[in-house]
Structure 1
Amino acid sequence: MDNIFGISMQSIMLALLIAFGLCLGVGGWIYLRQRIIFRMGIRNARRRPAQTSLIVIGLMLSTLIIAAALTTGDTLNYSVKATVLDVLQHTDELVVPVNGDDAEPNAQQSVTFPQQVAADLQAALADDPVIDGLMPVLAQPVPILNPKTQLSEPMVTAVGIDPAVLDPFGGLRDLEGNDIDLTALPEGAVVLGKTAAERIDAGIGDTLTVYIKNQPHDITVAAIAPDSILTGMQDLGQAGGFVMTLDRAQALLELPDQISFIAVSNAGGVEAGAEATDAAVAAIEAALGDAPYGAVRVKQRALNTAEEGANVFTSIFLVLGLFSIAAGILLIFLIFVLLAAERKPEMGMARAVGMKRRQLTEMFLAEGIAYDLVSALIGSALGVGVAFVIAGVMGRLVGDFFTIVPTAHWRSLVVAYSLGVVVTFVTIAISSWRISRLNIVRAIRDIPEPQRQRAGNRWLIFGILGVVLGALLMWVGADSEKLFPYSIGISVLPLSLAAALRRFGLPARPLYTVASLFVLAYWLLPDSIHQKIFPVLTGGMEMFFVSGIMMVAAATMAIIWNAEIGTTLVGLFGRTFSRWLPAVKTAVAYPLASKGRTGMTIAMFSLIVFSLVMMATIDHNFTRIFSGEEAAAGWDITATRVMNDPMPPFDQALAESGVDTSRVTATGRVRQVASYDSQIRLAGTEEWKRYTINGADASFIEHSHAPLSIRATGYDSDAAVWEALRQNPDLAVIDSVALPGPTVQIGSAANFFLQGVQPGDTTMEPIQVEIGDPVSGQTRTVTIIGVINPTVSVLYGLYVNDEAFDQVFAQPTQTMYYVQTQAGTDNVAFAKEIKAKLIAYGVQAESLEKLIEQGTGVARGFLMLVEGFMALGLVVGIAALGVIAFRSVVERRQQIGMLRAIGYSRAMVGASFLIESTMITVLGVGSGTILGLILSRNLMTSDEFTGSSGAAASFLVPWGTIALFVGIALVAALVMAYIPARKAASVPIADALRYE
């Protein structure tokens, strides 16, 4: 992986290595200049191995998350690139017909041109050092049937190549690596690709039937070869095909002297050849001159798409992993706060005998660096292990498209380790500085700092700075219409204002309560109310993290400053269980006396559970919405045909082939041009974009049940829009992917966006766009009058009627027939029947319900994978509880002795610790669950997500999944608290009282 977040990984690594060197430099400086201080810090790390191990576990989690995300990106990048190189081999560019302004050329199915073009180009580039081979190739889709197994594939690619120019392309080999001589094969013999052989269960020597212009022809399998462009595998997930010599393919396909593209091999080999693409394309275009042909950067484009896909996936993991990283940072602060609390008398004595604050900070830094270097190393190693587990899960999800090969790149590991060290070091440095600011007398006597009615001037200064910063961010966000700075500003401002007002003696509880409730109201107000109060701004995926951080911070503040209400409940509880009342009161009082550490622990659990609840709820509702009744637009079966050979009307073809058409209630046809084969741009603009374009017949428009999320003014119903589209070739509707927003798009397969309309709008002004065919050069202006609701998941692209489509496009990329069936029909079986009966026409039929289930299954698989990755954050919370529980026993050893001396039994002491841990966990888990459910409900029922249809009005909660997360957290809390609680209860009274 070479880039992430648009920044070069090489630059990131160098910057982090410099920062890592500075961290080591600080440690080295302390060792050289303050060797005794350094040894005192290191001694503390060696004193208690068990607790040191727990601290290292807590510190390593941030590095683990980073390493896992980066290694996952490396795995995806390597796996897709390896598959691309295996398929393309030495083929770096393709020369194809092209026309149209600014058209990006692309190979098109069934489009052929004279073979003489290849001969002329070979002569022109014979002496070019950049290009070491050109080969004319004929590649056409055909249906194939294995009579022995009765398995068929409606579309494989019949390939013809010229063996005389095959050597620069690496030759042709079978699965065992043996060379294959195509010229030595008998008449009618072919080399079958590996995937095609598996799909129809064919072996060497089998006789297969292919259909050319609807007529059967027999071919014999002479050998089976790995999938590549030479054996018909032109895209990941396809069935591949078979290969023979070019002259035999031209005769079989009845295309004499015709080819589909010219394959070009650059000098430098399989991988390095792509680096010469720019020079090769320049040479090809110079040789072609004004001829209507162009070079497709097929390998470069595929490798770039692989890189972009890996970057997007890594970015998603990193953004979602920020919750766990933030929890890990809180844990680091918490660890050092607890260490300071335990060593408070020791630090006071050190200050009393002459140690300066700076030296106290250096001592903690030395100890922290020791933890840091070890924990980051362990985190990096475990992160690789987690990434390999993720790779195994992804392999099962996308195994039909490419093979996932777990890969760890040294550069990513250096970045993960260095970043983990730097983040942890900075956190330790800040907490160490904060720890060193203590009162010597109070520290020696181990008494708390007095509670002041008025805050110090520092609170006033920081509060004013926060107010100014918040106001500035709000202004920047409103001016740029960006939600990210505005939301941070409006969240920071009230909290900073409350901090500043404390300087003037105002009570803290009402100040922070009002401020935190305002922040929660901003984030949790329903969308309909929110838009009336606050400006409508745009945001992306980063808002998921920002919302979690801000809401959890506000909710935690409200809980901590109002937790005294719990003492009242404890009193009521004690009336019934008076025996345990002292233990319960002790369990409640201690956390309230340390609001900072208690708040950090609650925030850790709340952050993690919030993110998990959000993802689980979105997953649950996503499945329901996008696989609901509207998903198939009222159709039951889709039959796809890629070939352009003559075929009777679909209804007639069904009847003539013997299909029982009594089960069919309606059919419709959509001819589709894929995004790479089409052009689109807003009227009045110059640059062409890419988008899928569909031509729908009258029957499809009439019988579809596809609600619209946005209608143009002048149309009072969805039916009016569709009827206008049926009658008027100047009109169009489009899917919601064209709306501007945080849609993740990889490559340039769909890069067109509308202007003047936003997600959540219900009406729009008609928008004129120009569509074009890059091959024929024909264009037409149409007016978009509606946006299809995203709940209709089977319809994608721009839709015009048949008349408009015929005027622009010479031929479709594929033709799709839609079938409505009678109630009670087994659509899976009926689709198989249609596929079997129409095999001669190359028709691939599938049940739409099955396709939607498969599609949402893959999406849900990835969402569950992300949930599992985010669930690593629970380890942070569990580690936090362990750290708190173990350190609390050490810190409060004398207090335990006093409690035992005044009459607390061992059971009461142990119960006090258990109740304390459970209470903190319940508050954090409850806060995160409630916040996650409210925000996810607002999201899933908002117009931006469901459009104007209200499809998600019945919001569903995945109670089972949430109960699992909550159960894990609570059980972990009890387990992690039980051991130290039992240890605390067993401390002898005399030993505890004289403990130092």
Structure 2
Amino acid sequence: MESIFGISLDTYLIAVGTMAVLIVLILLYIAIRNPLLVRLGARNFTRRKSQTVLILIGLMLSTLIISAALVTGDTVGQSITNRIYTSLGSIDIIVGPDEEKIEGIRSIKASDLSVIREELREDLRVDGVAAVLQVDVPAANQQARLSDPRAYLIGVIPDEIRKFKQLELSDGEVLDPGILNSGGVVVSERLAESINLSAGDAVTLFVENTPHQFLVAAIVRDNGLTAKDQAGPESKPGGGVMMLLEDALTLSGWEGPNILVISTSGGVRNDLEIVDTISGEVEALIESSNLSVEVIENKKDLVAIGSLVGSVFVSFFIIFGLFSIAAGLMLIFLTFVMLAAERRSEMGMARAVGMKRLHLTQAFIAEGMLYNVGSALVGAALGVLVAWLMITLLGFIFASFGTEITLNVNPRALALAYLVGIVLTFVTVAFSSWRAANLNIVRSIRDIPEPDLLQRDLGGFRELLRSTWSVACRVIWLVIGFALTISLVGFVISAVQLFSIFGGQIGAAIGVTLGLSGVILIVYFVRKLFDYAHGKISLVRLISRPIDKLNAWSNTHRSGAGWAVWMIILGSLGVYLGGWGANAVVPSWIGPQLWSYTTGTTLIIFSLGILAVYFGAPPRLSFTSVGLIAVWLWLLPLPFTIFPGFPETANGWDDPIQGIFSLFGLGHEPIEGNFEMFFVSGVAVTAASIFVVVYNATLLLAPLNLVRNVFKGVMPAVRIAIAYPLANRFRTAMTLAMFTLVVFGLVVLSILNHNFSQVFAGEEAQAGFDIAIEGNSSNRIKGIDLALTNSEFMDKKLLGEGITSISSLRSATGFLTGIDGTDTRDGLYSVQGMDQSFISTNELKLLTRAKGYDSDEAVFAALAASSRYAIIDESRLKDGSNVFGEPLSENSFRIERTLADIDSSGWEPVAVAVMDPFTGLEQEFEIIGFISSTSTQIRREWSALFVSEQSVDDVFSGGYKDMFYVVATENTDVIELANAIESGLLEQGVQAVSIRKEVDESASQNAAFSALFEGFTALGLIVGIAALGVISFRTVAERRQQIGMLRAIGFRSRLIGLSFFLESSFIAITGILLGLGLGYAISYNILTSPEFAAAGLESNFDVPWLRILVFIGAAYLASSLMTLIPARAASKVPVAEALRYSG
């Protein structure tokens, strides 16, 4: 894996590494300038070992998530890449017929072969060029009565493939291809294992239903030359039978080879740039010589696809891990808030004797980085362990695709995870330290609370303006500092480029050294400059003194209301750019984007609550109102709308802002959202719901009073358990947010995965059939009923009693062109010819129908009545979705219209012309229906243009392959019937499978992936558990004197312990219930949205309660165990000692 989100791994390493170096320089500066501050931090690190362990657990999780994601993605990418190298071997470029130019023949012209061979003959970069024939031919071991319909007939010229060294025996010895000259054949291991062949046995190949027997000369390993390409889309590729090209052409009836393979210098893992260069030269030769061939694939592109798959896995894991990363960063912030509260008096006294706020910040940073360095290291290492567990599960999934997954730890990825963990934690620690150091000396020493920055000052609107300008000053200096940091990073990155001057790794090392030296010198001289500024250089002093004065003024006029004004400004900007950003010059990731639009709206709502409190409104009323409004906004649509006359939506969500602006004709275009909305929605609804809960939790005491006589023995403990968390709303809100955020992500992911599996693994995936029989292109079956009846190996009783009907499709590949003004991208696509039985029997679900067709039955009745009508799968629409429907080639056919365009006001039939690229024969059709993806996700051949069987006969001369579909009787064992059909038609080389079994296997694979992603997301619950542990340990120390007072007035030790346990349980249960409720609501809205239904993905909204309850039950149990130790410690505090405790 070389890139993440399209950016090179080296770029990430250089950028993050430079930031890490800057962090180290800051720490070195603190250590050299003020070593006492470092000693203070180190002392706190070792004072409470149990608390230190809990903090380390919370801090390491962000690094663990990133490390596990990177290692897993790198392993997947590397494993797929290894599979590609193993499969292709020395083959680097494959050239095949260009189906748009082949003019009636399916093989490569001899003249085209001659041109390419002549061009590459003297090229020293090319090791070999070989013409090869590869044709599907069923193979059988008649003695063992075993067959494999997926076998490959491979024809080669021994002298041409000798340089490829592809014929490897099981012990690694390379077999001389001259062995084929003796008349024998070489069989690949996969085929030999499938039909139990050994060297010296006879293998039978069936062509045009005629058996041909050959002697097996040797068994060789599978690769791109001796078997079907493992790197292709086939989940279970077949093995091969290799013989002389001349014999293969005679046997198959082909006129010549159908591929040309090229090997470049350097062996199997050669220089991919050479491969790319030669591939480009071959393409240029084809273009200039007007050859009827094209480069089908080259090794560099396939390896890049493998790396891309790894990057996709990293992207998914990081997106799903964002909840855990966010929870981890909140835990870091909460930890330092609690540490600051614990040492408040101590810090006040330190400030009183001359220590500055900057010194306190530096002391906290030093302590935090002691936690950071160790936790990031542990997190990176444990990330490898988590990755190993995920790779073990992925190994079972990928095994079904013929790919072996083995753990691969890339040192660069591990280093990146470690550095990112350090940088993220440092930024959070630095902000937390700055916040903790912002205290009043007198209030800190007397342990008096700081004033509420949200309360209205005497200045009213005037003070609000001052506070807004104060915030602006802080933001300006922050931006200047950030710009300076980025400039320094850019300086280092530019220095790295000096390798082009010095050359090689030594040059790169020199460049990095010079760059870092430059940073150190800049930091040193800037510091010296400011030191002199206070004494010697009057000009610089004139500059620095106004900055100091401005900072002091800014501190004097601090207020949360100033931040609220800027939140409104930023929120309004986000709404405009997100909704109407298409008209603005902004990056595409900002506008028009749903995340920017909805985030801006949420910021505006929250800021209104802050301003309401500033101007005297009750905090409970203000924050409850804005919380409920924000939750309402995110949980739209409800059963009603406040704008019934304007039902416009933004991607299916009722949009009040759009409704208001639409009244004046100023509505925006539809907004696009993607996976990021999963995280954005979770953060927004979590924050909104936390506002509501922390300001209204006291209302829970009212219903408890109704049952106080029943639980009168524990009611005091219950009241304390609710009262104490609400006495410190910020701490409680942060802990609730951690639990809620992760549970929300887990619930949404679980419900969506479960329902998607239900949709795509339902009855619609079978389309009304039980068994699919895949015919062989070399052995066409003219009448399958007759063939089964005449087969001496077919169970006649099972044939007579087990089958209701057999339908057929005839497969072809056509060139589709839009006619009569149809907006299409003309190109190749699969065409299936339906017989009358298929038309009347199938239960394919149509996503949408043309005007005049009120039901699916009406569409299929038209198909049965006339051969001019057709239907096609929905992937051919511009926004269609189908895993099989979109070939890798950009030349495939597509209708340049979206589903919304078609469904907006009904649609007329789509006129297309279908041409056989081999013969030029053509016929016109009218598409009157689009097949839903729920019916095409299992059977690959159903992603096609469906026409009548007669049309395929007329245009494509019957197509190249037959597919048959069986409807079994009710009590028939479908798998037994499929095996009987395959055995009965062994000579024809058919493959019969249970469609229900395929559906179940697909559902099983999806379930495994779902479990993997859900387990990864559930790691964030560790953060919530660790947070409860930290809070529980700290509350015992903070409330030691209160515990003594409670004991003195009659509270038993058991009741004290119960109150602490219930306090933690109150936070954990509230967070779990919030996450569960919000996740349920968001999932329900998604699965019942009009877009979901319009896409044919109708769901009954089934909730996997067992899976969810297991996750949250385990989380609550772990959090309860985490709080038992401090609760027990609290219950055993001696009364007299606790009363004398002074902190």
- Are the structure 2 counterparts of residues 11 and 478 from structure 1 closer, same or farther at C-alpha, using a change threshold of 3 Å? same
Whether the aligned pair in 1 keeps the contact of 2:186 and 2:243 (CA below 8 Å) is no
1:495 to 599, 606, 612: 606
Mapped to 1, the partners of 2:919 and 2:114 lie a distance apart of 24
- Are the structure 2 counterparts of residues 451 and 734 from structure 1 closer, same or farther at C-alpha, using a change threshold of 3 Å? same
Describe the SS at the equivalent of 2:681: helix
Describe the SS at the equivalent of 1:346: helix
Whether the aligned pair in 2 keeps the contact of 1:90 and 1:273 (CA below 8 Å) is no
Whether the aligned pair in 1 keeps the contact of 2:875 and 2:882 (CA below 8 Å) is no
Work out which of the two has the higher radius of gyration on C-alpha atoms and give 1 or 2. 2
Whether the aligned pair in 2 keeps the contact of 1:118 and 1:135 (CA below 8 Å) is no
1:977-996 pair list within 5 angstroms: 977-992=1123-1138, 993-996=1140-1143
Structure 1 stretch displaced more, 150-159 or 364-373:
150-159
- Are the structure 2 counterparts of residues 52 and 296 from structure 1 closer, same or farther at C-alpha, using a change threshold of 3 Å? same
Does residue 1:757 correspond to 2:903, yes or no? no
Describe the SS at the equivalent of 1:228: coil
Mapped to 1, the partners of 2:1117 and 2:827 lie a distance apart of 54
Mapped to 1, the partners of 2:447 and 2:566 lie a distance apart of 34
Mapped to 2, the partners of 1:133 and 1:843 lie a distance apart of 36
- Where does residue 429 of structure 2 map in the other structure? 428
Mapped to 2, the partners of 1:193 and 1:696 lie a distance apart of 36
Describe the SS at the equivalent of 2:153: strand
- Where does residue 128 of structure 1 map in the other structure? 123
- Where does residue 327 of structure 1 map in the other structure? 327
1:38-77 pair list within 5 angstroms: 38-77=38-77
Q: Match for 2:609: what amino acid?
A: A
Mapped to 1, the partners of 2:851 and 2:735 lie a distance apart of 53
Post-superposition offset of 1:70 = 0.9
- Are the structure 2 counterparts of residues 451 and 492 from structure 1 closer, same or farther at C-alpha, using a change threshold of 3 Å? closer
- Where does residue 893 of structure 1 map in the other structure? 1040
Whether the aligned pair in 2 keeps the contact of 1:231 and 1:243 (CA below 8 Å) is yes
- Where does residue 617 of structure 2 map in the other structure? 506
- Are the structure 2 counterparts of residues 391 and 811 from structure 1 closer, same or farther at C-alpha, using a change threshold of 3 Å? farther
Structure 1 stretch displaced more, 44-53 or 250-259:
250-259
Structure 1 stretch displaced more, 34-43 or 740-749:
740-749
- Are the structure 2 counterparts of residues 388 and 453 from structure 1 closer, same or farther at C-alpha, using a change threshold of 3 Å? closer
- Are the structure 2 counterparts of residues 743 and 218 from structure 1 closer, same or farther at C-alpha, using a change threshold of 3 Å? closer
Structure 1 stretch displaced more, 141-150 or 686-695:
686-695
- Where does residue 668 of structure 1 map in the other structure? 807
Q: Match for 2:366: what amino acid?
A: A
Whether the aligned pair in 1 keeps the contact of 2:192 and 2:219 (CA below 8 Å) is yes
Q: Match for 2:705: what amino acid?
A: G
Does residue 1:699 correspond to 2:837, yes or no? yes
Describe the SS at the equivalent of 2:138: strand
Does residue 1:467 correspond to 2:568, yes or no? yes
- Are the structure 2 counterparts of residues 856 and 284 from structure 1 closer, same or farther at C-alpha, using a change threshold of 3 Å? same
Deviation per CA, 1:70-96, whole angstroms, max 9, x where unpaired? 111100110000000001011111121
Describe the SS at the equivalent of 1:945: helix
- Where does residue 928 of structure 2 map in the other structure? 785
- Where does residue 387 of structure 2 map in the other structure? 387
Does residue 1:816 correspond to 2:963, yes or no? yes
Mapped to 2, the partners of 1:739 and 1:403 lie a distance apart of 35
Mapped to 2, the partners of 1:468 and 1:774 lie a distance apart of 60
Mapped to 1, the partners of 2:974 and 2:415 lie a distance apart of 53
Whether the aligned pair in 2 keeps the contact of 1:630 and 1:705 (CA below 8 Å) is yes
Q: Match for 1:262: what amino acid?
A: L
1:155 to 150, 158, 178: 150
- Where does residue 555 of structure 1 map in the other structure? 689
Post-superposition offset of 1:845 = 0.9
- Are the structure 2 counterparts of residues 52 and 526 from structure 1 closer, same or farther at C-alpha, using a change threshold of 3 Å? same
Mapped to 1, the partners of 2:62 and 2:364 lie a distance apart of 20
- Are the structure 2 counterparts of residues 450 and 424 from structure 1 closer, same or farther at C-alpha, using a change threshold of 3 Å? same
Mapped to 1, the partners of 2:1086 and 2:50 lie a distance apart of 44
Structure 1 stretch displaced more, 454-463 or 595-604:
454-463
Mapped to 1, the partners of 2:444 and 2:882 lie a distance apart of 55
Structure 1 stretch displaced more, 887-896 or 754-763:
754-763
Does residue 1:346 correspond to 2:346, yes or no? yes
Whether the aligned pair in 1 keeps the contact of 2:166 and 2:223 (CA below 8 Å) is no
Q: Match for 1:299: what amino acid?
A: K
1:193 to 171, 188, 192: 188
- Where does residue 586 of structure 1 map in the other structure? 720
Whether the aligned pair in 2 keeps the contact of 1:94 and 1:298 (CA below 8 Å) is yes
Whether the aligned pair in 2 keeps the contact of 1:711 and 1:762 (CA below 8 Å) is no
Deviation per CA, 1:702-723, whole angstroms, max 9, x where unpaired? 3211222322333222222333
Whether the aligned pair in 2 keeps the contact of 1:154 and 1:842 (CA below 8 Å) is yes
Post-superposition offset of 1:211 = 1.2
Structure 1 stretch displaced more, 753-762 or 521-530:
753-762
- Where does residue 571 of structure 1 map in the other structure? 705
Deviation per CA, 1:233-285, whole angstroms, max 9, x where unpaired? 31343443234342464266244762121111122322225322332234324
- Where does residue 85 of structure 2 map in the other structure? 85
Q: Match for 1:178: what amino acid?
A: E
Per chain length, whose mean CA-contact separation is higher, i.e. which structure has more relative contact order (CA < 8 Å, sep 6+)? 1
Describe the SS at the equivalent of 2:1027: helix
- Where does residue 855 of structure 1 map in the other structure? 1002
Mapped to 1, the partners of 2:434 and 2:374 lie a distance apart of 22
Structure 1's unaligned 5+ residue stretches are none
1:819-858 pair list within 5 angstroms: 819-858=966-1005
Structure 2's unaligned 5+ residue stretches are 458-466, 468-558, 583-591, 642-646, 649-653, 659-669
- Are the structure 2 counterparts of residues 100 and 932 from structure 1 closer, same or farther at C-alpha, using a change threshold of 3 Å? same
Mapped to 1, the partners of 2:132 and 2:679 lie a distance apart of 50
1:733 to 859, 872, 888: 872
In the superposition, the TM-score normalised over structure 1's length comes to 0.93
Mapped to 2, the partners of 1:590 and 1:246 lie a distance apart of 86
Mapped to 1, the partners of 2:456 and 2:955 lie a distance apart of 73
Q: Aligned residues, how many?
A: 988
Mapped to 2, the partners of 1:292 and 1:773 lie a distance apart of 16
- Where does residue 281 of structure 1 map in the other structure? 279
2:679 to 542, 545, 559: 545
- Are the structure 2 counterparts of residues 787 and 462 from structure 1 closer, same or farther at C-alpha, using a change threshold of 3 Å? farther
- Where does residue 753 of structure 2 map in the other structure? 619
Structure 1 stretch displaced more, 226-235 or 659-668:
659-668
Q: Match for 1:217: what amino acid?
A: H
Whether the aligned pair in 2 keeps the contact of 1:277 and 1:297 (CA below 8 Å) is no
Whether the aligned pair in 1 keeps the contact of 2:179 and 2:217 (CA below 8 Å) is no
Deviation per CA, 1:464-515, whole angstroms, max 9, x where unpaired? 2222222222222222453222222222221122112221111121222222
- Where does residue 595 of structure 2 map in the other structure? 484
Mapped to 2, the partners of 1:515 and 1:669 lie a distance apart of 61
Deviation per CA, 1:692-743, whole angstroms, max 9, x where unpaired? 5544344323321122232233322222233344525354332357452798
- Where does residue 710 of structure 1 map in the other structure? 848
1:301-316 pair list within 5 angstroms: 301-316=301-316
- Over the matched positions of the two proteins, sequence identity in percent amounts to 37
- Where does residue 1055 of structure 2 map in the other structure? 908
Describe the SS at the equivalent of 1:634: coil
1:959-970 pair list within 5 angstroms: 959-970=1105-1116
1:137 to 132, 136, 139: 132
Mapped to 1, the partners of 2:393 and 2:54 lie a distance apart of 29
In the superposition, the TM-score normalised over structure 2's length comes to 0.81
Q: Match for 1:557: what amino acid?
A: F
Supply the RMSD in Å over aligned alpha carbons. Answer: 3.0
Describe the SS at the equivalent of 1:216: strand
Deviation per CA, 1:945-993, whole angstroms, max 9, x where unpaired? 34376831x3212121122112112111210000111112222233333
Mapped to 1, the partners of 2:677 and 2:37 lie a distance apart of 44
Mapped to 2, the partners of 1:913 and 1:504 lie a distance apart of 37
Describe the SS at the equivalent of 2:809: strand
Structure 1 stretch displaced more, 629-638 or 190-199:
190-199
Mapped to 2, the partners of 1:267 and 1:759 lie a distance apart of 52
Q: Match for 1:718: what amino acid?
A: D
1:358-377 pair list within 5 angstroms: 358-377=358-377
Whether the aligned pair in 2 keeps the contact of 1:466 and 1:497 (CA below 8 Å) is no
Mapped to 1, the partners of 2:979 and 2:1006 lie a distance apart of 25
